[in-house]
Structure 1
Amino acid sequence: MSSHHQDKATFLERLIFNNRPVVILLCLLASIFLFFQATQVRPSTSFEKMIPLSHPYIKKMIEFRNDLANLGNTVRISVEAKEGTIFTQEYMETLRQIHDEAFYIPGVDRSGMKSLWSPSVRWTEVTEEGFDGGEVIPQTYDGSAESLNELRNNVLKSGQIGRLVANNFRSSIIDVPLQESYSDPNDQSRQIKLDYQKFSHELEEKIRDKYEAQNPNVEIHIVGFAKKVGDLIDGLVMVVAFFAIAFLITLVLLYWFTWCIRSTIAVLITTLIAVGWQLGLMHLVGFGLDPYSMLVPFLIFAIGISHGVQKINGIAQQSSDADDALTAARRTFRQLFLPGMIAILADAVGFITLLIIDIGVIRELAIGASIGVAVIVFTNLILLPVAISYIGISKKAVARSKKDAVSDHPFWRLLSNFAHPAVAPVSVVLALLVAVGGFWYQKEHLQVGDLDQGAPELRPDSRYNQDNDFVIRNYSTSSDVLVVMVKTAPEGCSHYDTLSAMDELMWKMENTEGVQSAVSMVSVARQGIKGMNEGSLKWETLSRNQDVLNNSISRAEGLYNSDCSVAPVMVFLNDHKAQTLKRVVAAVEAFAEENNREGLEFLLAAGNAGIEAATNEVIAKSELIILILVYLCVAGMCLITFRSLAATVCIVLPLILTSILGNALMAFLGIGVKVATLPVIALGVGIGVDYGIYIYSRLESFLRAGLPLQEAYYETLKSTGKAVLFTGLCLAIGVATWMFSAIKFQADMGLMLTFMFIVNMFGALWLLPALARFLIKPEKLAGKVGGSLLAH
């Protein structure tokens, strides 16, 4: 580096280091305020934040929400009799108590609750005198043997077997629809937002724990979006434990790297300040912590450590020939502020691109992470050098840095061969082969969406997934429901043409792979017409007589809206795997294209499977756009910074290779591209570019000094290679702890980020110098000072 580069102080440097007490005071005041705000952050999520609100499917679902009872955010409580059947006085009394308990839990849409104890659950039969019917549990029920026998007969005639009652009569379900917000019991004018964690805890305490203890013959299974999210939030409380583990690992590794307890503590404290500021600012902008944004403080800690290590490494090197700690800190600030700033901007770009995904939790993650990297500019790029200018670096660390500067390093000498004329072509060809192979594998095997039954965010052996498996095995109507909305003119849903088309759709769905069954008002109409004809099976069809049709659907309560203009067709699926949803949605869309006409439309989609299908479409469309935007923005910043297309290619190509290999690894491990894993792609690129920027900025300075490429790379490795290697390993070890999480999507993210941190680090050390051998002309850089912004 030239003396000009070392001695000319910028305005920003003078502003900061000439006013160090003011900088520390301002940071202290900001920390007091923002740490207080951070203590106010609470777990927070909602049903609508988890879904793509602008997708056509979701728009239709919201438009007809009031016409689709119990098809949105619903919890299902299955009460199982461990011995015997449900037709015992003890079981029915427990079921009644659970129904009443759930009825009074805040957030429950009480008008839509259904169980055997609901008056709206009725039975019908054909008698000599015509139709007869009534409540499944009659007003005269008293728990006697006669009443229980009557109840059994009523259940058999109700059509609820496989729906509210298990196929083996050993359990029954309570359907509990939820409201996103509800009136405050103490102030009806105030709306309270549903707290999923609190609601989940109430289900556990007031229902599962209470009634399983009260009746040892009963086992309770609970499934539904709210329960899943509650379990996720509970599991993610372990993030605090993982954060503590990562902190301790980083403390040990940092001390091993620096040999200076003062600088180690300084890096850790300034990075923790960044995390505190980020959480405080999130609260100020109105965000809480949801299952996805809970991971952001981890990432901010990792990025802060990455930049802190570079600063400490630089200060240790400068201290060897500086008069005091202040001079060393100022020189390091001058040398590394701009590369660090560019790297942080690249991090922010990776996060900001996630904003194009119209899913609330991802957008909040993007904003929260962008805020976090912005505060790192103040904590790790400004406050850390100022703090070190006061406390200095230990003599042991300075002596070690001096020794490293003059010693020959066999390991770095070996790695410098990556820039050798004979090795570089081999590296480039090998990288090309790996990229082609990885791209082919991901193209063939990578899928968008879930690849497992149940809740893939949770472990297969989690209580929730065990409960979900129980429901799938014992009921004909699974928890995965795709709802097709049939829209007609008012009073049009009962016309023969409409019902005939719905019947045809149901037949097509039931003959589509992955579908369990399909239910609509047609199901009731066919049964009604059969009943009006003495129960003869040959009359189980749709009549062309409108009066007969009107009479037959009068008992299809809940299967059409008040003016008979919307009728749902409920398609119950075996699972919500990506291929199942793709196949079923394609079948419905093909049917709709053939049958939609004026006055009759088949619209997708409601139900949890419909929401999942919409989410998968948004993710599929966004994935490539995000990657392109990330790389365009990162490349643009590198181009502006280094004013060199060759330098930009050297930095960006290793990142592209990592992205390809990351997707191939996801395909190999059976991890789909979904809400939980898509952010990893942008995060990996944004954080990974730090390595390339720091390495190239040092490499360029040595090339300008006139060194040949391989020697310049050796000097680069001696000065910053150790920091890059340490950072990659430190970050990887920190997020690797996630792999032990009870939350599967966190474990998946931990695995993917560990892989991307290591491969990005290795790519920068291995592929960047090989590419530089072909793209960079050292003779054009030699002796130049002003070729890039980093030289100023």
Structure 2
Amino acid sequence: MTSHSHSWMARFNRFCTSHRVLVLLVTLLVAVAFGSGIPRIKGEVLIEELLPYAHPYLKIMIDFSETFGSGGSFVAIALKAKNGDIFKKSILSKIQAIDQEVSMWEEVYRILTFSIASRSAKVVRPVSAGEIKVQPLMWPEVPQTEEGIQELKRDIFSDPNLRGILVSRDGTAGMIMTQFKENISYERAFELLKGLDQRYTDEETEIHLVGFPVMMGWIYSYKTQIILVMAVSVALIVVVLFLSFQNLMGMVVPLAFGLVSTAIGLGFIGWTGINFSPLLYVLAFLVIARMVSHSVQITHRYMEIYVERRDRVEACYETMQSMIIPNWAAVSTEAAGFLVLILVKIALMQYVAIFMTVWMLTIALCGIFTPVLCSYMPLARASEHWVRKSQKMSWLDRLCVGACTFSTGNGKTVIALGAVILVAFFAYAGGRLKIGDPSPGSPLLWPEHRYNQDQAMVDKTFDVSSEDFTLYYGGEKDSVYNPTVLNTFEAFDRHMKARLPDIYKSSDSIIGMMKTISYILHDGDVLWRELPYQPDKITNLIGWTRDQVDVYTMARYVDHDMSKAQITLYFSDHTSDNLIRIHRAANEFFALHPMKTDRGEFFLAGGRIGMEMATNEEMKRTHLQVDAMVLIAIFLLCFLFYRSLIGACMFTVPLILANMIAYGYMAMAGIGLTINTLPVAAVGVGVGVDFAIYIYNRCREEFALLRQPGAQAPSDPWLAVILRAVRTSGKAVILTGLTVVLPISVWYFISDMKFQAQVGLFLAMILSANVLFAITVHPLLLYVIKPRFVREWGNT
């Protein structure tokens, strides 16, 4: 920093010191003003906030959702008989009751609610030669006799459009499918679905629920438990603080600042109206833990200075002079980790970028608020105890000094070689990181969780699933009559089935109904269960189907003026590898078939799988960009604060190693890079830079002391300065690291949500690595490079 900068900063710090009461009052008023917005916080994240708004797939889905729904809010409700099959009057009546109840919900698309009890579920029967009749399968009433039930069973198992789709292959479960409207919150959807579960699960039947709204509903149901887990973590922070300071007053200051900063951060979220998903609570706790750890560093420094000066006001001023620059440098670099998320074209990510950056920047108040509050606390005895304790070689001192001595002495080669090996190993492991979900079901929940068990049950017994993939057609009025449209649909279906036999389950379109009608018209000859090849015949068959089938059934496949149509394919899962295979197979098909006809065009892709593809492509496009921008921002900010290219490199290079460890660990632990993990990974890059900043800053102060008149110069100034910095600030780094690492490590053992448990372990590992680097790698870099910006600070 220049002399002018020092002069300006000194005047600012002196002003704050001279007006300490004003500083406290202004800070508290700001906290109260923002904190009043906390009750306004909303947690209802909508599906459109989770999707890349600029992706072509999303634009296509928006265009067709008014006609067919988006597919991303699809829910499958399976009613399973506990003994035998579902072909009993009592169980069929339950399917009918569920179908009628769901159809009446205002939150769903009524015409997209479908089961064997729906009006749109049809059976085609011959009446006479060349004449057929299309009738509802089980509407408006359930068969009242055993003969009627057996006839229903024959109708279902003789029709490939029903067998395995609306009734499981073994006949033990029935399916009710629906789609929620896009503006319905997951909590509301889950509330309705759990009501069905409670009413229709008894000694005879059980309900199984799958679909994205169900999965998110389960996440929201853990909101209270997540908060309780956070409360346990806060309690552990308090314990660590007490063990660190071994007095009540020293512990109160970091907690008080944490409360002030939390009120401002949460209040900002409430006042801006940004939706605050339970999955973001993890990030919120990380910020809270970071603000406490910053305050711990500054409180320790105040206690040291107070013992030297014996003057509260001067101790406050000198603590600001000493700590405000490293505090601001560290906070700005950590905030950069959040801010760059605004590059991701997903609304939720941009919301996170805004409110988490603002919240993180509130920690910049720590360099002012903490010394001022310390000056009003009775810390004299505690400070003397702290200094006396610091002068003795405790086990923690021996650990810090030993690690530093080893790193700068005989262990230089070991540390350097170890760093190279770590880089190579985790770079190789990180190369296998998956974009998207690496495992079937929901990776946010444990494999034995009910949702994943329900998903496995539906996948095992039905030929449909919640993993739907839609091909759309849009064109001029009546252009669906063009045989090319349905022939392309069928060719696409066959291509996907042939290319992906291990994950393909079934398809659903108007073609199935047309084939059945053709089959019945030709006296049950299986050779005619196909689309005609002649254009005039396929046009006639479409017209015949429209005449025979009611508007509710047709609305699931084509619009009223025959300008739009869709075919939906069902797959067994949406794992990242399989999404790539599905995407590749679809593109291969249209590399050989034109996407445009003379009157319209085909569009990829809709449904849950289309949404996942769009999201994964956005993650792939931006995650390296986000990481690079975080590192560039940290580099530039460090250069801005310290006016040294060498210094900026010294701060940034170890973070690259930490970044490699992060992604390598994610790959080995089976954690995919998703919309939920990207913010954690991005901020994880920068959370350790403050450890290095505080150590480097202490080294600068120690060199300034060596230049004072009468100071005795050691034989090896660099080694003496580094050892002193590690024993003071390095020890504080370990203690502040423990205030974060221990509380989040317990998530793995007490959380019922896999995501929270894995993220806790992930963050604990990254922070532990950064603490270790602070007392090994950074002392080595300082000793070998001997940067001028550290040695000559204070000369101006």
| TM-score w.r.t. length of structure 2 | 0.91
Whole-angstrom distance in 2 between the partners of 1:612 and 1:259: 51
**Cα separation, partners in 2 of 1:784 and 1:653, compared to 1, 3 Å:** closer
1:426 corresponds to:
414
For residues 368 and 522 of structure 1, the distance between their equivalents in structure 2, rounded to whole angstroms, comes to 49
C-alpha change, 1:414 and 1:72, in structure 2 (3 Å) is closer
Instruction: Indicate the SS of the match to 1:292.
Output: helix
Structure 1 residue 578 corresponds to structure 2 residue 576? yes
The alignment-based identity, stated in percent, is 24
Alignment of 1:387-786 (within 5 A): 387-405=373-391, 409-420=397-408, 422-443=410-431, 445-513=432-500, 514-553=503-542, 554=545, 555=549, 557=554, 558-599=556-597, 601-704=601-704, 705=706, 708-739=717-748, 740-777=750-787, 782=791, 784-785=793-794
1:324 equivalent in alignment to 2:311: yes
- Once residues 384 and 300 of structure 2 are traced to their aligned partners in structure 1, the CA distance between those partners, rounded to angstroms, is 10
Answer yes or no: is 1:197 the counterpart of 2:187.
yes
3-state SS of 1:511 partner:
helix
Deviation at 1:684, TM superposition (A): 0.9
Distance 1:7 1:596, change over 3 A: closer
Structure 1 stretches of 4+ with a deviation exceeding 6 A read: 3-9
User: CA offsets per residue over residues 311-349 of structure 1, 9 Å max, x none?
Assistant: 111011101111222321221111101110111111110
Could you tell me which amino acid in structure 2 is paired with residue 147 of structure 1? G
TM normalised by structure 1 equals 0.92
Note closer, same or farther for the CA distance 1:631–1:786 as it changes in structure 2 (3 Å cut): farther
Alignment of 1:204-215 (within 5 A): 204=194, 206-212=195-201, 215=202
Q: Please say if 1:273 is aligned against 2:260.
A: yes
Give the alignment partner of residue 309 of structure 1, picking from 273, 278, 296: 296
Please tell me whether the aligned partners of residues 293 and 368 of structure 1 are also in contact (alpha carbons under 8 angstroms): no
Write the deviation string for residues 187-238 of structure 1: whole angstroms up to 9, x where unpaired: xxxxxxx23223312322x3111222xx420101111222211110111322
Letter in 2 for 1:151: L
Question: CA 1:141–1:523 in structure 2 vs 1: closer, same or farther (change >3 Å)?
Answer: closer
The residue type paired with residue 517 of structure 1 is S
Structure 1 position 7, deviation (Å): 11
Aligned residue number for residue 187 of structure 1:
none
User: What is the correspondence of 1:263-302 to structure 2 with a 5 Å cutoff?
Assistant: 263-302=250-289
Seen in structure 2, the aligned counterparts of structure 1 residues 273 and 774 have a Cα distance that, compared at 3 Å, is: same
Following superposition, the deviation at residue 784 of structure 1 comes to 4.9
Matched with 2:232 is 245
Greater displacement, 309-318 / 42-51: 42-51
Secondary structure, aligned partner of 1:237: helix
Residues 764, 140 of structure 1: CA spacing in aligned structure 2 closer, same or farther, 3 A cutoff? closer
> Cα distance, 1:170 vs. partner?
1.5
Contact 2:62 2:70 in 1 (8 A): no
- Preserved CA contact (<8 Å) 1:646 1:776: no
Following superposition, the deviation at residue 723 of structure 1 comes to 0.9
Deviations 1:412-445 (A, max 9, x none): 33222255254334322321222022112221x2
More displaced 10-residue stretch of structure 1: 764-773 or 748-757:
764-773
Q: Deviations 1:126-163 (Å, cap 9, x if unpaired)?
A: 45432222011144655232332343244345521211
In structure 2, relative to structure 1, the CA distance for the partners of 1:394 and 1:104 (3 Å cut) is farther
How far, CA to CA, are the matches of 1:296 and 1:669 in structure 2?
Answer: 20
Q: Following TM superposition, by how much is the alpha carbon of 1:36 offset from its aligned partner in structure 2, in angstroms?
A: 2.8
Aligned to 2:165: 163
**Whole-angstrom distance in 2 between the partners of 1:397 and 1:770:** 31
> Conserved in 1, the CA contact under 8 Å of 2:34 and 2:268?
yes
- Conservation of the 8 A alpha-carbon contact between 1:325 and 1:393: no
Change beyond 3 A, Cα 1:10–1:140: closer
Change beyond 3 A, Cα 1:536–1:399 = same
Cα shift readout 1:266-294 (whole Å, capped 9, x = no counterpart): 21122022112211110101113213322
Letter in 1 for 2:229: F
Corresponding residue number in structure 2 for 1:131: 132
1:81-230 alignment to 2 at 5 Å?
A: 81-129=81-129, 130-139=131-140, 141=142, 143-156=144-157, 159-181=161-183, 194-204=184-194, 206-212=195-201, 215-230=202-217
Residues 391 and 784 of structure 1: CA distance in aligned 2, closer, same or farther (over 3 Å): closer
Conserved in 2, the CA contact under 8 Å of 1:496 and 1:542? no
Contiguous gaps of at least 5 residues in structure 2: 708-715
Alpha-carbon offset, residue 71 of structure 1: 2.5
Inter-CA distance 597–30: structure 2 relative to 1 (3 Å threshold)? closer
Matched residue, 1:790: none
The DSSP-based 3-state class of the residue aligned with 1:320 is helix
Give the Cα separation in 1 of the matches to 2:133 and 2:643.
85
Tell me, yes or no, if the aligned pair for 1:418 and 1:770 is still in contact at 8 Å. no
Whole-Å Cα distance in 2 between the matches of residues 69 and 124 of structure 1? 27
Letter in 1 for 2:188: K
Deviation string, structure 1 residues 242-266 (Cα, Å, up to 9, x no partner): 2211111111111111122112012
Q: For the Cα contact (< 8 Å) 2:77–2:177, is it kept in 1?
A: yes
Amino acid at match of 1:654: P
* Conserved? CA contact 1:262–1:394, under 8 Å: no
The residue type paired with residue 171 of structure 2 is F
Residue number among 214, 223, 228 corresponding to 1:236 in the alignment: 223
One-letter code of the match for 1:174? I
Range that drifts further, 154-163 or 430-439: 154-163
| Residue pair 2:40, 2:273 contacting (<8 A) in 1 also | no
2:712 corresponds in structure 1 to none
Q: What are the Cα deviations for residues 35-72 of structure 1, in whole angstroms up to 9, with x where unaligned? A: 33213323211111111121111111111112324734
Q: 1:190 maps to what in 2?
A: none
Q: Which residue is equivalent to 1:189?
A: none
1:782–1:201 Cα change, 3 Å: closer
631-640 or 413-422, which moves further after superposition?
413-422
The 1:394–1:472 alpha-carbon spacing in structure 2 relative to 1, beyond 3 Å, is: farther
SS in 2 for 1:571: strand
Partners of 2:73 and 2:401 in 1: how far apart?
61
**Matched letter for residue 23 of structure 2:** V
Query: Hey, what's the Cα distance between the residues in 2 that align with 1:652 and 1:418?
Result: 23
Aligned counterparts of 1:115 and 1:784: Cα–Cα separation in 2: 76
- Matched residue type, 2:509: S
Q: Matches of 1:7 and 1:682 in 2, distance apart? A: 36
Once the two structures are TM-superposed, the CA of residue 698 in structure 1 deviates from its matched residue by 1.4
Amino acid at match of 1:351: F
Give the 3 Å change call, closer, same or farther, for CA 195–497 of structure 1 in structure 2: closer
Shift of residue 783 of structure 1? 5.2
Cα deviation per residue 1:741-782 (whole Å; 9 max; x = unaligned)? Answer: 22222222112111111111111221112222332246x865
Alpha-carbon distance in 1 for matches of 2:369, 2:666: 39
Work out the CA distance in 2 between the residues paired with 1:719 and 1:324: 21
Q: Describe the SS at the equivalent of 2:746.
A: helix
**Residues in 2 aligned to 1:782 and 1:217: alpha-carbon distance in whole angstroms:** 79
- Work out the CA distance in 1 between the residues paired with 2:299 and 2:5: 19
Number of residue-to-residue matches in the alignment: 768
Residues of 1 paired with 2:35 and 2:533: CA distance?
Answer: 71
**2:383 aligned with 1:374:** no
Q: Do the aligned residues in 1 keep the contact of 2:240 with 2:738 (CA within 8 Å)? A: no
- Displacement of 1:450 in angstroms is 0.8
* Structure 1 residue 634: Cα displacement: 0.2
Residue 587 (structure 1) shift = 1.1
